[in-house]
């Protein structure tokens, strides 16, 4: 760690344990692709901390701006496995954040899943942005893992992908009623119905957590408003969200077999694009 190093944006990447991965090689390959997309940035004013129980099968530190942080806390025990996965993910994000603050003191911080990809333009854009409290990535791409030719454009990335928020660092540790049911906080029946019907407001009775350490990406606008800040939007397609990945911890992965209406299917067709050479280079798509 270089105590004099600085970064404009820090990427916090939780890496799940080998014990919960059915294909460790694929998980490591996806993480390598994520790091390659960051290293492809047009500006080097960033840092990346990968936090995990075991290092991947390649050296994360081959790039001076990346660091692998070994965590030793036991895997969380919960009667619902998906809650254990979320708690493990949040603990690793928290550990990565504490290290990033000491090592680089980044101006902005972004949680990034270990299989998603970022635009080469994002870091440089943040250098020249106007210093807002945070930025939401609403515009992006939904990519079926392994697809060589097709990708889907979306203006609602924050509805399905947790790699969608950039927080100004002085706000990351601010707290509020942000903790959700999926992370182990139980709601009564009436509040559960309200939470299911309204994804964009805070819900009475939610537990206390920090702005950074919650994974309820559909309520980020309400969380910033609770703290007295407006959440701005990144004005271009900034993230590729990988789906169809059996190694993903994303809750959206579990919905991949959902039934689609004819209207939804037609919408998917309209949003589908060919993967161009330019797009492949911008996101380092494999």
Strands 108-111, 165-168: pairing is antiparallel
Domain total in the chain: 1
Q: Does 3 reside within a domain?
A: no
Q: Does 66 fall in a domain?
A: yes
The H helix count followed by the E strand count for the chain is 8, 14
Question: In DSSP terms, which residues pair with 240 in a beta bridge?
Answer: 117, 141
How many CB atoms lie under 10 A from the CB of residue 256?
Answer: 13
pLDDT in tens, 96-137: 999 999 999 999 999 999 999 999 999 999 999 999 999 999
* Matching residue, tokens 């067709």: 269
* Residue 2 resides in a domain: no
Beta-bridge partners for 242: 143
Number of other residues whose CB lies within 10 A of the CB of residue 265: 9
CATH number of the domain to which 55 belongs:
3.90.550
Place of tokens 């494999």: 286
Decide if 4 is inside a domain: no
CA distance 194 to 143: 31
pLDDT at 266: 60
**126 alpha-carbon distance from chain centroid:** 17
Q: Which residues of the chain have pLDDT under 70?
A: 1-4, 181-185, 245-267
Residue 51 lies in a domain: yes
Q: Examine residue 147 and state whether it is found in any structural domain, yes or no.
A: yes
pLDDT value of residue 256:
41
Query: CA-CA distance, 108 to 67, in Å (whole number)?
Result: 17
Cα dihedral: 57, 46, 1, 62 (round 10):
30
Question: Domain residues for 222?
Answer: 9-283
Contact 275, 151 (CB under 8 A): yes
Asked if the structure places residue 261 within a domain, the reply is yes
pTM given for the model: 0.90
Mean pLDDT of the chain: 88
First CA to last CA across the chain, in angstroms?
Answer: 30
CA R_g for the chain: 18
Q: Is residue 1 part of a domain?
A: no
Cα 116 to Cα 240: distance, rounded to the nearest angstrom = 6
């Amino acid at each position: 760690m270089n105590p004099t190093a600085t970064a404009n944006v820090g990427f916090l990447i939780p890496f799940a344990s080998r014990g919960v991965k059915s294909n460790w090689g694929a998980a490591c390959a996806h993480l390598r692709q994520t790091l390659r997309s960051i290293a492809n940035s047009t500006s080097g004013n960033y840092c990346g901390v990968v936090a995990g129980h075991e290092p991947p099968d390649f050296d994360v530190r081959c790039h001076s701006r990346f660091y692998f942080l070994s965590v030793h806390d036991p895997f969380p025990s919960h009667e619902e496995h998906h809650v254990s996965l979320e708690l493990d993910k949040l603990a690793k994000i928290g550990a990565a954040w504490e290290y990033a603050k000491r090592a680089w003191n980044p101006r902005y911080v972004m949680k990034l899943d270990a299989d998603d990809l970022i635009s080469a333009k994002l870091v440089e854009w943040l250098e020249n942005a106007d210093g807002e409290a945070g930025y939401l990535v609403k515009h992006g791409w939904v990519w079926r893992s392994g697809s060589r030719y097709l990708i889907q454009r979306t203006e609602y990335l924050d509805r399905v992908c947790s790699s969608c928020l950039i927080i100004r660092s002085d706000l990351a540790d601010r707290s509020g009623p942000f903790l959700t049911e999926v992370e182990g906080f139980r709601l009564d029946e009436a509040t559960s119905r309200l939470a299911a019907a309204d994804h964009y407001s805070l819900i009475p009775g939610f537990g206390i957590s920090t702005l950074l350490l919650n994974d309820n990406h559909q309520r980020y606008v309400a969380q910033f408003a609770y703290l007295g800040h407006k959440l701005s939007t990144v004005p271009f397609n900034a993230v590729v969200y990988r789906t169809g990945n059996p190694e993903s911890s994303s809750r959206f992965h579990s919905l991949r077999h959902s039934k689609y209406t004819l209207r939804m299917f037609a919408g998917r067709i309209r949003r589908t694009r060919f993967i161009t050479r330019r797009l492949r280079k911008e996101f380092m798509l494999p």
